[in-house]
Amino acid sequence: MAMAFGLGLLLALGQVPFAFWPLGLAGLAGLTILVARAGGALAAARLAWAGGAGHFALSLSWIVEPFLVDIRVHGWMAPFALVAMAGGLALFWGAAGAFAGWAGQGVRTRALAFALALAAVELARGYVLTGFPWALPGHIWIGTAPMQIAALGGQYGLTLMTTLAVALAVILPIGPGRALGAVLGAMLLGGAMFWGMARLSAPLPERPDAPLIRVIQPNAAQHLKWRPDMVPLFWNRQLDYTAARADPAPDLVIWPETAIPFMLERAGGALGAIADAAGGVPVMAGIQRREGSQAFNSLVVIGSGGQVVQLYDKHHLVPFGEYIPLGGLLGRFGIRGLAATDVFGYAPGPGPQVLDLGPRLGAAVPLICYEAVFPQDVRTDSRGDWLVQITNDAWFGAGSGPYQHLSLARLRAVETGLPMVRAANTGVSAFIDPMGRITASLPLNAEGALTAPLPPALAATPYARLGDWPVALVIALSLAALVAARARK
């Protein structure tokens, strides 16, 4: 189990910001061999769980950062949060190991069963209990040519490709067959590399009249963001960057999540000040609002005169961050969401939307922070022309969290074939083209404004049209075949 935990740590080094994908592959291959050689379902489950615990302990180490913002109140929770997150998510991997140990009748079939089951539980992890598809094995390819496979099968297709490739080395018999398995695995990954490079070499559609968008990054540290003496500083900083004149002028200005420090129902004068600073250019900004007894984490588009012309309420909320399950009960014990306005937290909005911003800017699919982690939240009924994410990654410090969040935004662009504009409070704010490449950015923990043209969109990808069903069907049929083969024996 100690060896499995260490191999999980090695796998985590494939994740951003380390991004050493060869080490990630080596860690996953080693864990697959351990599970394949385990003697039974329980032993395989324990090894797979230990590997998952190591993987998530390192790749999700940023989870302690939100508890350190107000360390006197929440600091004691940080180690428990990391242990609970790593150990809890590793249960999915333990289930994959248990299936492999049960279904496999030898090293080869157990390796194959683990590869398929691991892909299956990682897909399930994106949906069960509202989902948390962070640090998937397939994410080691973000920023490399094989990432383009996500246009075909999404992040779960990437993960299935990865688990199968590393399992091939032990699926075939020991001896010459093992070398053949390694060759087949290399061919699978090499084919993905070649296809991805060919896709990246294709020119994007030309759009000489692309709209210009200005992104504002106020760099409001979380422990200072709501302090009464600092609120005016960050507020004026955003107004000043918005008011800065340029030739040509931007077509849209975007502020990050909760950038407006007033509740929407009391923000009439503030919205007017934003409109005046923008000089007739619409401004998209994050704001909180109340409706009766419910609070919402929202995005508004502010037009001339400070009028709200578009409104979107975040619908995929962060458990224990923006709301607490059984909040009324747990609130009596002083437990509340870190970013929530009260013990009940935010209420979810009605669901994904598309905002019509007019003929020049087109239709934008809005995502607030955490929603960019979920590909299902990006696939709207009516396909937009581009994606926009407003976020406040100040919660996650300056380590791996903000960079991993940015990498997932890049993956959403590849999956949909749509560009993304990302406005982050403390960074990294970025323009991302439909191939997942960053075309312009502001660094982490820096204030500033960035004006750049909106990258063009591509035609809808196969993944954008079909979603997760093809990969889920392939996995389900393969697992069913293993179960049937075991029953026959």
Catalytic residue, chosen from 65, 122, 225, 257, is 257
Task: Count CA within 13 A, CB hemisphere, residue 462.
Answer: 12
Catalytic residue, chosen from 65, 122, 225, 314, is 314
Residue type, 297: N
Tell me, rounded to whole angstroms, the distance of Cα 386 from its chain centroid.
Answer: 17
Q: Whole-angstrom Cα distance, residue 244 to residue 249?
A: 9
Task: Count CA within 13 A, CB hemisphere, residue 271.
Answer: 23
SS3 286: strand
Strand segments (E) across 406-467:
420-424, 429-432, 438-442, 448-453
Q: Whole-angstrom Cα distance, residue 324 to residue 336?
A: 6
Does 257 qualify as catalytic in the annotation? yes
* Burial class, 72, CB count within 10 angstroms (exposed 0-12 / middle 13-18 / buried 19+): exposed
Does 371 qualify as catalytic in the annotation? no
Catalytic residue, chosen from 65, 322, 369, 371, is 369
SS3 420: strand
Does 369 qualify as catalytic in the annotation? yes
- The 10 Å CB-count burial string (b at 16+, else e) for 49-71 is bbbbbbbbbbbbbbbbbbbebee
Pairing outcome for strands 429-432 and 386-391: unpaired
Q: Which residues are the active-site residues?
A: 257, 314, 369
